[in-house]
Amino acid sequence: MAAFVLAGFDPAGDDFPSISSNSGTVFRTWFRIVSALEASREKYTGLYTDIYWARLRHGLLVGFAEQRKYCLGIIQRSIRIARQDIHTPSMTLFLGMRRSYEEQYARYSNLFETIVLDRYANQVQACTPELTKLFGSGSLIASDWTKTLLSCALSSKVQDGVRKIIGLWYMRFVLDNEGSIISHTDFLVDGFLSWATQGSLFTSTLTSTREQTTCAHGEALANVICRFLVEMPGASERRGVFTQVLRFVIGRGGRIFQYSILYLLQGLLEGCSTLESFEDLGENELDLLLQVSRLPGFPEAAIGLCVAYCGEFCKRFMPTDNLEAVPGYRDFSRRYEQLARDANVDFDKSIEHLDLDKLTLSNSPSLESFLQLHDPEHRAIQGDNFVPTCTVVSRVLDRVTPKYYDLCVVLEALWDEAERQDFRRQALLKLPHLFFHSTVLRALAQHRVNYPGGGESLTPFLTKALERLGEIAEGRTYLLPQLVEALRHACYHVPEILEVLPIDDLFARLVENPPLPKKEFLFEAAAAEKLQLFQPHRDYDYYYGNREWCAYAALIDLVNSFPKGHLHVAECILKRLLEPWSNQQAPIPVIGKWKGTFQLQTMLLLVDLCMSEEDATWYHESFFKALVVEQWPRYRFFLEWAISRIQYRYPSLAFRSLKRLAEIDEADPRHVASIMKVAVLSCQFLPLEEFALKLMLQLIPLSASQKAQIRHEAHWSFPIVFQVAEQAKWKAITDNPAFSMLNDHIRKVNRFSSYPASIRFLELNVVKHFTIFNIFQGDYLKLENSEQEMFTVGDIEQLREIDERTGWEVLPFRIALDGARLAVPGSSEETADVGKSVSSSEEVAFQTKAGFDLDALLASTEPQETIQKRPSSVILIASLIDNPTNLGGLSRIAESFGFEALYIDSLKHTASKEFQATAVTSHKHLPIEELKANKVPDYIVELQQEGYQVVAIEQTDRSNVLGEGLRLPRKCVLVLGSEKGGVPPEVLAVVDRCVEIKTVGVTRSLNVQTAAGIVAYDWWRSWGKVVERPE
């Protein structure tokens, strides 16, 4: 106690200075005195008060690195000086278990150093099992210190990678029930949720499939909240968690990822529902729920889900008495009831007030009554009236054909209003089926026939609408199904419209760069799925219609049933898609941003539908040009398939493959293998023994190629061709003993029967497997970087079923939807993981950087001149080196081994990024001086006069081998040579000796950093034990 009085403060007293992030002097003095108390065994009563430990914990929370080191040292020294048990809210200690407490708090300090101070991500990841053990059910660490470590680790001042590792570990710790979390409520709100509600954590774990859209982090967060509620021992604690989470959401305002709120509400609702009996919530909780339900920034489905969650709380956990008296509840109740109403009922009510006499056209075959609807005096199409008006107009167009000019005016009026409303969702979804209604397009086509040279305004108007809607659909993908399905019907029933509107341009853009939902919108899809659990009719279709895959199904269905008289339009799309592929110049990147599987799938379909005999050769050469330079296996697979289909349609082109195979250089094995595959595929459908025989003769030398890829492809191809010959009874092949023996030999090789699951070894049949399913949905999409299918055959079948129910006539398929499936070869069994998994109960070692120890902290309390004195009497001269990266590494070596100083040619090197990247922070703790290269000889002479012996690390005819009976001098100067020239003669002339490092490999030289590290360690091994730490 007297020691603290002399210091001017008492850690447990009222005179203790205020703690800030710059209180290093206070904690340094505190640590010195606690260390003195340990040595004197003097009793200190403040140790048994909570304020002592609370101040220490606060210093650990807000301090910088050095202050935190002192705090960790104080914790360990305080445990050692305790003379009786400690029982405070922040600390517990039983003297009989002092050794166990010391061990656990020592490991706590190591964990704190690794996670909060050092922050090396790989080491943080490696120490998580130790975290689980130390904070588990058998831990002696007080919960306050657990929360302190976690709060510091999840602080915004720590890099995101480390925060993510610790945050995910804590979620697993909670969900796996590894330890008690009853006392973690304040950390949950103050420390954990601020990290856990970051948007990047949600977007990075969001996955969307045809079945569901799931956010793994969001679901885990909801489960964490649920577990906190369930684990609380009493009603007041549960109510406290409930209110604190809601207050956190409200207090964040707009500074929170909006969809995280839904997962927090989900967790609270699941927690309340899990408990067998949950106490009724009061007016305070209801007020918080109402505030949350009114938070802005949610899209439509998310708003509905937020209201549904809050409504469930009110319905299940609120007393029904006096709810109406709570401010805002009536408005909320109205919104909640609106969720339950059916959309059709709302729509019928919305059109009751419209003047249907003007819209039904029951007495008039024109739209004259519509001509004034866009006038400001008539509000029939403005505001909320727009959507029902569009529906009524569509019904009108189903029954009558209006006058052309009346139609133009009405459509322009509707477009202007939609534009004025900034194409809001409800309005936008109505436009495609209205503007591209078959009645509208027939009127356009008829007008062009009746007035071939006359001006008309509907074509440019619909062109503008089509282009604008296409642009909008690229960003708002929910519009895409409506737009493509409307155009599909238009092309089926008014095919001449393909010659009028730029539909081909839109379709080509969709294939070149298929719009897919953005992450933000997928959260809306996930919200709609969850909302459907409470209100079954409020699903995704209710808000947005069909999903995006229906658009691509409609597009491919149209391509597969393209109107015959307009195939040249499809050919224009094919040439536009093929041009960039065939015009590539080697070398090209393996995966280009503009490339996509959907492009090749569509080209494969189009080349079979619209290729004429006159253009077959051009297509054949163009696809081969693309194949020559393409590297990605999946892309090469489709290019090979397309070439084979061209040769199937026009068999004379197949012999070009044989000619290419005979003339090609083996410099590019991929290209040779592809030509072989194309030839083998053609052999399956060509009834020509001559073709197969020539191919077999060419495969024999290729089977012995020095290039492994060519050799394996030939081995794979030979038995396939031989089997075709056996089935066709081509005696010239089957009766040839050389062919027969090679075939038997290859089939006996294990590799032939156990080829890996790879696109290269798919047993493709160009004719039998040419179906929509195999092209767009085949299992090969799961091989080698799996890719999700754009649509399924079932989507096309569903489209056709809808067409049949509505009476639409559709064209027949040109290519079958399904048939023989393209089988993926079985993959070999995966090697079992023989690595030993470490359980949380085992004692594990984890990496730590040598940051500090208690004695080092105590030594740093000495006078400044003593602190700056380096332990090793070694000077490193690196003035001959000009590479900043190497200089940074030498700085790290010199500081680590305690060298006196490092000399370099220019101090400007220390400011470079390359230097600092390898030096880390070593240059801040090591004297680095400037010594020009031409001054090195003179300075060496000065050092020799001061008693230093100078050693050059260089290979010369007089060099001694390091370690072979040689002991470096204790007071030593090490001179390093430049990367290229080594140590120059003028320096060698003044050094005392030269040493070299013995190597046994072909390479005789080492990197300068490596050499310096070896010599430094050799010096420390000789003199380290006699080097005394300054007192």
Say how many Å lie between the first and final Cα of the chain, rounded. Answer: 25
The letter for the amino acid at 422 is D
Is residue 859 within 8 A of residue 1029, CB to CB? The reply is yes
Residue 359: per-residue pLDDT: 46
Residue 370: per-residue pLDDT: 55
Report the distance separating Cα 481 and Cα 473, nearest Å. Answer: 9
Report the distance separating Cα 130 and Cα 843, nearest Å. Answer: 8
Write down the architecture of domain 862-1023 according to CATH: 3-Layer(aba) Sandwich (3.40)
374 to each of 369, 382, 432, 468, how far by Cα in Å? 11, 8, 20, 21
Q: Between vectors from CA 451 to CA 450 and to CA 456, what angle results, nearest 5°?
A: 125
Residues 6+ positions from 818 with CB-CB distance below 8 Å: 771, 772, 773, 793
Q: Label residues 163-194 b or e (16+ Cβ within 10 Å = b).
A: bbbbbbbbbebbeeebbebeebbebbbebbbb
Residue 553: per-residue pLDDT: 96
Report the distance separating Cα 492 and Cα 488, nearest Å. Answer: 6
pTM of the predicted model as reported, rounded to 2 decimal places: 0.80
Low-confidence ranges of the chain (pLDDT < 70): 1-9, 20-23, 276-279, 320, 342-380, 453-456, 750-757, 824-870, 1025-1031
Residue 593: per-residue pLDDT: 85
Residue 3: per-residue pLDDT: 56
Residue 136: per-residue pLDDT: 84
Cα torsion through 875, 879, 885, 888, rounded to 10? 30
Report the distance separating Cα 915 and Cα 715, nearest Å. Answer: 54
Report the distance separating Cα 683 and Cα 767, nearest Å. Answer: 12
Report the distance separating Cα 668 and Cα 986, nearest Å. Answer: 54
Would you list the domain boundaries of the chain?
197-340, 346-515, 862-1023
Q: Give the closest residue to 514 by CA, choosing from 522, 506, 504.
A: 506
